[in-house]
């Protein structure tokens, strides 16, 4: 039976890397986005707005996917709005496709906010989730759009009789341009600015993140788990953490990144020094760097998302996940985190995103 994938959010880090992996394995693959990319050979672009049902119906009129991979979300000002909008994204898509009865599996990518909750959960109330984070940990009492998205999948699965999987990565590291949550590229751009100007590469996060254990998720590892769960009976109707499989401390990795770029670094010193403030006046500087080195993107804010990096590295707790559940179920893909970053930096240089 032919596998026909619809990757929702195909321009993002997760979606674009997943599309590459699906195509390499011979899947017919559609990539849905508001502004689809056309630089992935073999990917069939679908231009659609998930909040516009009439537009969505027209865009999917002749498409009957067997597998949905939902890899996108929309950032809003409040969690109440996040819940309303992001659950609608999932529900609208599955409602529009429901009459076709073609869907066999839906995979939803969320993240560790499932366990951590909003910032106030652990910063203001004193709540500290037990680490390593495990899939059986219960939902928190705080409003969370991840829960709303999951519920939309569960409701449609019961109605339309398809299987599902939920995937919870930590920070996703991978190649994508114009993505709004891209720590790897953000740090590469910051390091490039430091090299160009002689500034020190200053760790922007907390003492807990600098000294504590952490992990991240390579986008290619996530892609492999998504396909594995969609095609493995024992993995269906399950939620899985997904990281590279190793752990590290930022005090170790920060030095390695600085060594790659041949720049001076400075670790945590008594206070959080947000990257958003560090880069706030660097747009003109980056434009000049881009012109000098003939780079592809001169808009700093299209390639660097300092706010997201600050949220991750500013956490007042160490954060790492347990991979035992998917390992026991047969998913064994592993990637060195240092290699994830260095491979990305090499790719960014090759594609003329950084000098």
Enumerate the active-site residues: 113, 146
Q: Tell me how far apart the alpha carbons of residues 184 and 174 are, in angstroms, rounded to a whole number.
A: 7
Q: Report how far Cα 14 is from the mean position of its chain's Cα atoms.
A: 6
What are 46's strand-pairing partners? Answer: 32
Cβ-based neighbours of 61, under 8 Å, separated by 6 or more: none
Q: Tell me how far apart the alpha carbons of residues 157 and 193 are, in angstroms, rounded to a whole number.
A: 48
Count H helices and E strands in the chain, helices first. Answer: 16, 13
What are 29's strand-pairing partners? Answer: 5
Helices (H), the chain: 13-24, 53-59, 79-97, 113-116, 119-123, 145-160, 183-197, 207-211, 219-231, 250-261, 275-279, 283-293, 300-303, 306-313, 324-329, 337-350
Q: Tell me how far apart the alpha carbons of residues 160 and 109 are, in angstroms, rounded to a whole number.
A: 20
């Amino acid at each position: 039976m032919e596998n026909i994938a619809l990757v929702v959010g195909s321009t993002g880090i997760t979606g674009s890397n997943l599309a590459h992996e699906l195509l390499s394995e011979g899947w017919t693959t559609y990539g849905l986005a508001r502004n689809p990319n056309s630089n992935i050979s073999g990917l069939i672009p679908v231009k659609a707005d998930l909040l516009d049902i009439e537009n969505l119906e027209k865009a999917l009129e002749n498409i009957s996917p067997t597998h949905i991979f939902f890899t996108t979300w929309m950032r809003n000002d409040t969690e109440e709005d996040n819940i309303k909008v992001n659950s609608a994204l999932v529900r609208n898509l599955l409602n529009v496709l429901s009459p076709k009865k073609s869907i066999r599996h839906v995979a939803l990518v969320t993240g560790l906010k499932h366990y951590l909750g909003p910032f106030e959960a652990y910063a203001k109330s004193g709540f500290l989730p037990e680490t390593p984070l495990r899939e059986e940990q219960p939902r928190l009492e705080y409003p969370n759009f991840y829960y709303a998205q999951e519920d939309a999948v569960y409701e449609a699965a019961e109605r339309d009789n398809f299987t599902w999987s939920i995937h919870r990565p930590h920070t996703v590291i991978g190649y994508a341009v114009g993505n709004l949550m891209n720590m790897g590229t953000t740090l590469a751009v910051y390091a490039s600015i430091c090299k160009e100007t002689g500034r020190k590469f200053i760790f922007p996060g907390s003492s807990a993140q600098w000294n504590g254990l952490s992990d991240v998720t390579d986008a290619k590892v996530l892609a492999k788990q998504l396909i594995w769960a969609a095609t493995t009976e024992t993995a269906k109707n399950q939620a899985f953490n997904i990281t590279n499989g190793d752990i590290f401390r930022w005090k170790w990795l920060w030095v390695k990144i600085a060594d790659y770029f041949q720049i001076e670094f400075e670790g945590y010193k008594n206070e959080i020094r947000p990257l958003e403030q560090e880069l706030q006046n660097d747009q003109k500087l980056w434009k000049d760097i881009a012109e000098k080195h003939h780079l592809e993107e001169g808009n700093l804010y299209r390639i660097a998302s300092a706010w997201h990096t600050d949220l991750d590295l500013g956490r007042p707790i160490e954060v790492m996940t347990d991979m035992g559940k998917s390992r026991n179920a047969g998913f064994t893909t592993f990637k060195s985190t240092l290699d994830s970053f260095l491979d990305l930096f090499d790719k960014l240089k090759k594609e003329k995103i950084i000098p």
